[in-house]
Structure 1
Amino acid sequence: MIDPSGAPAWANLQPRDRAWLTKLARLTGPGARVALVGGAVRDALLGQTPLDLDVVVEGTDAGALAVATGLPFLVHPAFGNATVTLPDGRHADLVRARREHYPVPGHNPVPAPGTLQDDLQRRDFGLNALAMEIGPGGSVTLLDEAGGLKDLSARVLRPLHAGSLREDASRLVRAARLGGRLALEAAPELLRQVPDALEMAQRTPRLWAELRLLLQEPRPGRAARKLTEWGAGSLLPNGTVERLEALDRQQDAGEKLPAQVYAAALLSASPEPAALAGRLGLGEKPGGLLARARADVPTAKGSPEAVLRSLLRPDAYAALTGRDVVALGVPPGRAVGAALAHLAELRRSGHFRSQEDERAALAAYLQGSSSP
């Protein structure tokens, strides 16, 4: 049962974060409001220690408040927001309370000044529309404007209004990310809106950014599986879910895999990997990793190339290296390159099924080379 007082959630914040938030509340003028909002509140209510701090301010200027903290900051004039760099290097966002509307579904919303309640109502899901308002004396009040506590207790993701996923289809991918990470299910309201999100997907640029973030989740396969279960598997190339889940299982077994491996696995399922990489903004590294994994060249055991190759080619084996052939009797020097070239040619011709086949071929090669 989640405590609606907010006291346990406040206690789950780092002491230095509680002190900083209380200081913010003291720096504001009479009638102003300061509240920690969104994911930090959600995670604190779930018993976790949030690291990211998003703060909404009402009745005061976010930029002026950032200046008053005495910490390094950056102001974003278009929205009247600011980003403060905390002493430990983390960043905290100070956001002016606002309302939003979408003149064109899929495009960026148009903001307008609003109240703290307006700001919470504009958010994506009920459990992300929770806030902890901090008083100048350190008092904390948990605000639940949209039934988020009930959703959190039921472990469900519920959009805040009937047009939510049509306005912003990227919310569907964000829901899958949260669902996979926190073991949350889709509320019926979310499932009813999936067709709207799919209809708007190609007109929602932010959706591609959310798919890129999906690859950076602790277990991307779980998030991808959510999309499939919810009827949105078409957002990913065929075969993506199974490949990402296979990588998840390796991580569950204790192997730490970088996000680049997941990105390359996603690209491997696409008939046009370069085009997909460009659309997702992945850069060149995942494509390069995929090319190396598909190439017929030796790779170090446990390397990203080897992991990806074993995923794409379960029958693949570790080819003999220069060190291996020297240990098997090839003299150091130019003879090593000649022996490796001979093995590579046979490998490309499909002569080998295992490293033992290569060893036998190398023995025959050495015997032939030594014949008069």
Structure 2
Amino acid sequence: MALVGGAVRDALLGALPTDAAPPDLDVVVEGADAGALAAALGLPFLVHAAFGNATVTLPDGRHADLVRARRERYPVPGGNPVPAPGTLTDDLRRRDFGLNALALVARPDGPPTLLDEVGGLEDLRARTLRPLHPHSLHEDASRLIRAARLAGRLDLSAHPELLRQVPDALNMAAQTPRLHAELRLLLHEPRPGRAARRLEHWGAGALLPAGAVERLEALDALQNAGQPVPAQAYAAALLSAAPQPAALAERLGLGEKPAALLARALSDAPAAPGSPEAALRALLRPDAYPVLTGRDVVALGVPPGPAVGAALAHLAALRRAGTVRSREEERAALSAYLHGDAPGGSSSPT
């Protein structure tokens, strides 16, 4: 039994922030039944019979995935791999990058030992992402997005072999549905703009809509300044750069929330300072300003009730016509409206 993957990588890199939740664990089981092992632990577990794997819920709430050691082959590039039973070495060699192929092997008679079958420790020292196979990104183009996510999060560089395979990944992107799932995960990275910029630097910017990198980086800058930016706002920023936002949202499986957030940001509806709508509006409409709200209208002398709605409708019409372009101009227009000398013969409500 061996602990593998990201938990080993991050522990060796010292990459886990002190305020971050401990990661879930991936455990490879060799020559044993994962379900039986999960049951023997005496903890809540769920067996995935179709794959011969099991997920155990640890006392601290984390999950440990117990998976059978396997090898894989790709009959069709871009498609799902076909697994077969294998050894721990097989399991490590099937992985995407060298630094993800390290294992901490449990020993019944002593402390665990670190197993490095593919030169992953050297990759860790160099902080580089090296594909394990010459056709790795051809078989699974989504690995390129995963590489960018890791590079952005852990400040890693691209190995020359990864850069050599970038054109292959671009050619296979349309045939790799898993790529969409990796793009969704990119939007949940601590700094999605940093990961997107890595793709741009590697010559893979075509995987994102034109202008998306800059918009994601602008939201990163807000986070760096201390303003939280949720993943939904990053998704909305990505959609805003797409020629067909609805089609992209459907391909990526983003649901309706990012598109709705984008629509609110592009509208003239008031946006609370520090809200995702306000962040997006500042990004997408740098000439936008905080429009007068119903509370502002009442403070300027309009009695509460239908008259407030009429005044707001009047201001919205002036915005659409381009007659007002600032909060000050809205105040002046509202004053004219209230005194019966608004443009177009409008008169104040009674």
Where on the TM-score scale, by shorter chain, does this alignment land: which range?
A: over 0.9
**Percent of aligned pairs sharing the same letter:** 78
Q: Name the residue aligned to 2:10.
A: 43
So what's the TM-score if we normalise by structure 2? 0.95
Two-structure CA RMSD over aligned residues (Å):
1.3
Structure 2: runs of 5 or more not aligned = 17-21, 341-346
Q: Name the residue aligned to 2:116.
A: 144
CA offset digits 1:229-266 (Å, max 9, x no partner):
00000000000000000000000000011000000000
So what's the TM-score if we normalise by structure 1? 0.89
1:193-212 to structure 2, matched below 5 A, reads: 193-212=165-184
Query: What CA distance in whole angstroms lies between the structure 1 residues aligned with 2:271 and 2:114?
Result: 54
Residue among 252, 276, 281 paired with 2:253: 281
Q: Is the 8 A contact 1:296 1:348 kept in 2?
A: no
What is the CA distance between 1:88 and its match in structure 2?
A: 2.3
Query: What CA distance in whole angstroms lies between the structure 2 residues aligned with 1:85 and 1:116?
Result: 23
Q: Is the 8 A contact 1:71 1:85 kept in 2?
A: yes
Q: Name the residue aligned to 1:331.
A: 303
The size of the alignment, in residue pairs, is 339
- The 1:275/1:312 distance shift into structure 2, 3 A limit, reads same
Structure 1: runs of 5 or more not aligned = 1-33
CA offset digits 1:31-73 (Å, max 9, x no partner):
xxx1100110000001144422100011211111111111121
Query: What CA distance in whole angstroms lies between the structure 1 residues aligned with 2:349 and 2:290?
Result: 29
Q: Name the residue aligned to 1:55.
A: 27
Runs of 4+ aligned structure 1 residues displaced above 3 Å come to 369-372
What is the CA distance between 1:296 and its match in structure 2?
A: 2.2
Query: What CA distance in whole angstroms lies between the structure 1 residues aligned with 2:191 and 2:318?
Result: 39
Query: What CA distance in whole angstroms lies between the structure 2 residues aligned with 1:131 and 1:95?
Result: 13
CA offset digits 1:71-129 (Å, max 9, x no partner):
12111122211111112222110010011111111111111111111100000000000
Q: Name the residue aligned to 1:5.
A: none
Does residue 229 (structure 1) correspond to residue 190 (structure 2)? The answer is no
Does residue 294 (structure 1) correspond to residue 266 (structure 2)? The answer is yes
Does residue 240 (structure 1) correspond to residue 212 (structure 2)? The answer is yes
- The 1:370/1:94 distance shift into structure 2, 3 A limit, reads closer
Q: Is the 8 A contact 2:5 2:100 kept in 1?
A: yes
1:148-167 to structure 2, matched below 5 A, reads: 148-167=120-139
Query: What CA distance in whole angstroms lies between the structure 2 residues aligned with 1:39 and 1:135?
Result: 20
Amino acid at match of 1:343: L
Query: What CA distance in whole angstroms lies between the structure 2 residues aligned with 1:371 and 1:322?
Result: 14
Amino acid at match of 1:278: E
What is the CA distance between 1:136 and its match in structure 2?
A: 2.7
Residue among 271, 282, 287 paired with 1:310: 282
Query: What CA distance in whole angstroms lies between the structure 2 residues aligned with 1:91 and 1:193?
Result: 34
Does residue 254 (structure 1) correspond to residue 221 (structure 2)? The answer is no
Q: Name the residue aligned to 1:23.
A: none
What is the CA distance between 1:309 and its match in structure 2?
A: 1.0
Does residue 69 (structure 1) correspond to residue 36 (structure 2)? The answer is no
Q: Is the 8 A contact 1:82 1:95 kept in 2?
A: yes
- The 1:354/1:91 distance shift into structure 2, 3 A limit, reads same
- Indicate the larger mover: 149-158 or 293-302: 293-302
What is the CA distance between 1:137 and its match in structure 2?
A: 4.7
CA offset digits 1:259-304 (Å, max 9, x no partner):
0000000000001101100100100100111111112222222221
Amino acid at match of 1:307: A
Q: Name the residue aligned to 1:18.
A: none
- The 1:230/1:371 distance shift into structure 2, 3 A limit, reads closer
Q: Is the 8 A contact 1:79 1:111 kept in 2?
A: no
- Indicate the larger mover: 47-56 or 343-352: 47-56
Amino acid at match of 1:92: A
Amino acid at match of 2:154: L
- Indicate the larger mover: 50-59 or 218-227: 50-59
Q: Name the residue aligned to 2:189.
A: 217
Query: What CA distance in whole angstroms lies between the structure 2 residues aligned with 1:87 and 1:140?
Result: 22
What is the CA distance between 1:371 and its match in structure 2?
A: 11
Amino acid at match of 1:303: S
Q: Secondary structure at the match of 1:93?
A: strand
Q: Is the 8 A contact 2:310 2:349 kept in 1?
A: no
Q: Name the residue aligned to 2:343.
A: none
CA offset digits 1:160-185 (Å, max 9, x no partner):
01010000000000000000000001
